[in-house]
Chains A and B, each alone.
Chain A
Amino acid sequence: MKKGLVISCLLATVALLSFKTNKIQFAIPKGWPKPVYDFGKNPLSLNKVELGRMLFYDPVLSRDSTTSCASCHSPFNAFTHVDHDLSHGINDRIGKRNSPALMNLAWSSSFMWDGSINHLDVQSLAPITNPLEMDESLPNVIRKLQSNTRYPNLFYKAYGDSVITGQHLLQALSQFMLTLVSKNAKYDSVMRKQAAFTEQESKGYALYKQHCASCHTEPLFTNYSFENNGLYVDNTLNDSGRMAITKLPIDSLKFKVPTLRNLKYSYPYMHDGRFKHLGQVLNHYAMGIQRTPTLATQLQKGVFMNNEEKFYLISFLATLNDKTFVSNTAYGFPKKYFEQSEGL
């Protein structure tokens, strides 16, 4: 009787411990704000992150099994699609906006260029179901995964249940994306007092603070607001931005302020990928601003910079490139899962 009790206690402890060791604590970099994402409702675990990573790289999420999340969000490009102004989906269908770079998503209060998505967990639904992207339905993805040889087991490992649900699928994708934290650029080392800016970078930092910081706020280099930064309207797209969601005229031509981190890897720039080089972006702010009623107040007076100043600013922006982020193998293609597979 006693022996049985002792054994069952031991077993319970072992089970509890193994469950605990699987847990991951989300680390908030020093000096950064509290994340917006509620980890209490979707606590990170190694198995869930691994499941999410596999799903992220698996084209099975698309209707014809050709396009994965990583197709437009490649790790080498800070999780965006380099060289494509507009993202493209299955059968080379072209979307209407530039795919955003994915990083530091735990701090983001809305998603998409127009903020149409209000929570990271439901973000993946949009590209999965958009006819111009993966053109698939959630119930069909679940059917495919459920009949797959590997996924029921991976879901069991992650959730203790091999029956795949939409909630578990979406939350696992969130878990992987939440781990994509870029915090090791030179800028971060300087802030941690482990490195120093060069003279050019210091001058650039001062210019950044003067001209850019009110929207591209440190340390995430965005304030997550929606602003009209004075781009002329591309009449092949006629994209009104945030107004399409809120229906408010004051939101006309406003788009989410993107982060300035990892610009080296994530070109082209702007919601429609119209600028290939940072120089073009700075020229836009210096000379190209269109005065429409919803133009950001910060840009009303114009941003005057000479060539020297532009050079300094670009030097500073380069300190926001995080090589460890784009080369982190923990974020990369999960080879070990796909190796045994037939189709890939």
Chain B
Amino acid sequence: MLLRPLLLICLFCCAQVVVAQHLNLRFVPTWGGKPVDAEKYYKLPSGDSLQITNFRCYISAISLSVNGKIVYREPNSYHLLDMAEPTTLQLRLSNIPKYDAIHFSIGVDSIMSVSGAHGGDLDPEKGMYWAWQSGYINFKVEGNSNLCNTRRNEFQFHIGGYAGKDNALVQVTLRNVDAPNAMTIEIPLDKWLQQIDLRQQHTIMSPSAEAVQLAKQLAATLNIQQQ
């Protein structure tokens, strides 16, 4: 009978050795380096202003590498970030080895886009699935600006598409030589929105070449926030 607690203690010790480390990942949509405030109006260099009322985004296929070699892949790696729900912006990777770079995709891959209704963060009830033409919306940026000649001056970018030329899934690689246990990844929406002429381009709600371009532009802005 004494054996059992002993065994448990042994197992516990082993587990302690195996669990090398974890990584707390935090994603922050920012404007001017500060978290986006959905209530606030932001000034553009032109003097015009805008408000960002909604930012939602899938982060998927998170992996870690050392010297370009993948050493860790997060299982079932699909996360829906929602600016309005801060807990969704925090992810935790457990049991990870040492690494010097992190990789992930913005959006949902084609396999999940063609294989029916999924649960959890991928559940179509999350509002990130197109009903009229199958496929996930990889990310949504919504708000308003005096530059947009639309109803209530709204802009709506629903960026998605998984097939062929309209595949808007984009990959991000961020190098982080220090390999800390906590990392804050900035999503600088100011840099992204300032590349868009909101007078001309304010509404995208289906897969297109423009959507692919905007996805690439978002991927290029992401960076690790320096402490």
A104-147 vs B, Cβ < 8 Å mask (1 yes, 0 no): 00000000000011111110011011100000011100100000
Asked if B134 and A167 make an inter-chain contact with CB atoms under 8 angstroms apart, the answer reads: no
B115 pairs with A170, CB closer than 8 A: no
Q: Is the CB of A126 within 8 A of B131?
A: yes
Interchain CB contact under 8 A, A167 and B118: yes
Known: A118-B134, A245-B133. Is A166-B123 also a contact (CB below 8 A)?
A: yes
A306 to B163, CA, bound (A): 45
The reply to whether the CB of B210 lies closer than 8 angstroms to some CB of chain A is: no
Taking a contact as CB atoms closer than 8 A, the residue among B125, B132, B135 that contacts A166 in the complex is B125
Given A116-B134, A165-B119, A167-B117, residue A122 in contact with residue B127 (CB < 8 A)? no
- Docked CA distance A174–B124 (Å): 15
Is A130's CB under 8 angstroms from B116's CB? no
A74 interfacial contact with B, CB 8 Å = no
- Nearest chain A CB to B197's CB is how many angstroms away? 23
Asked if residues B133 and A119 are in contact (CB atoms below 8 Å), the reply is no
A167 touches B119 (CB 8 A): yes
Contact count band on A? 20 to 34
Q: How far apart are the CA atoms of A38 and B127 in the complex, in Å?
A: 24
Whether, in the assembled complex, B53 has its beta carbon less than 8 Å from a beta carbon of chain A, the answer is no
- Which residue on chain B has the smallest CB distance to residue A42? B116
Q: Is A171 an interface residue when CB atoms closer than 8 A count as contact?
A: yes
* Residue A41 at the chain B interface, CB threshold 8 Å: yes
Establish whether residues B133 and A116, one from each chain, have CB atoms under 8 Å apart when the complex forms: yes
**Chain A hits for B132, CB < 8 A:** 116, 126, 129-130
**Residue in contact with B127 in the complex, picked from A126, A139, A165, A174, CB distance below 8 Å:** A139
Q: List residues 81-117 of chain B with CB under 8 A from any CB of chain A.
A: 113-117
Contacting pair A129 B134 (CB below 8 A): no
CB neighbours (8 Å) of A171 from chain B are: 116-117
Q: How many A-B residue pairs have CB under 8 A?
A: 69
Instruction: Tell me if B114 and A119 are in contact (CB < 8 A).
Output: yes
B129 at the interface (CB under 8 A from A): yes
Is there contact, CB below 8 Å, between A121 and B117? Answer: yes
* A166–B80 CA distance with the chains assembled, in angstroms: 15
Q: Mark A137-164, 1 if CB is under 8 A from B, else 0.
A: 1110010000000000000000000000
Does B124 lie within 8 Å of A167, measured CB to CB? yes
Q: Is the CB of A170 within 8 A of B133?
A: no
Q: Are B125 and A142 in contact (CB under 8 A)?
A: yes
Contact B115 A119 (CB under 8 A): yes
With A119-B134, A138-B124, A167-B123 given, is the CB distance from A125 to B114 under 8 Å? no
Question: Which residue of chain A lies nearest to B110 when distances are taken between CB atoms in the complex?
Answer: A118
**Cα–Cα distance between A41 and B117 once the two chains are bound (Å):** 10
Tell me the smallest distance from the CB of B213 to a CB of chain A, in Å. Answer: 16
User: Cα distance A137–B129 when bound, in Å?
Assistant: 12
19 A-B pairs with C-beta separation under 8 A? A116-B132, A116-B133, A117-B133, A118-B134, A119-B114, A119-B115, A119-B117, A125-B131, A126-B132, A130-B131, A137-B127, A138-B125, A142-B125, A165-B119, A165-B123, A167-B117, A167-B124, A171-B116, A171-B117
Interface residues of A (CB under 8 A from B): 38, 41-42, 116-122, 125-126, 128-130, 137-139, 142, 165-171, 174, 245
Question: 8 closest pairs, A vs B, by CB?
Answer: A166-B125, A121-B116, A121-B117, A125-B131, A170-B117, A118-B134, A167-B119, A129-B131
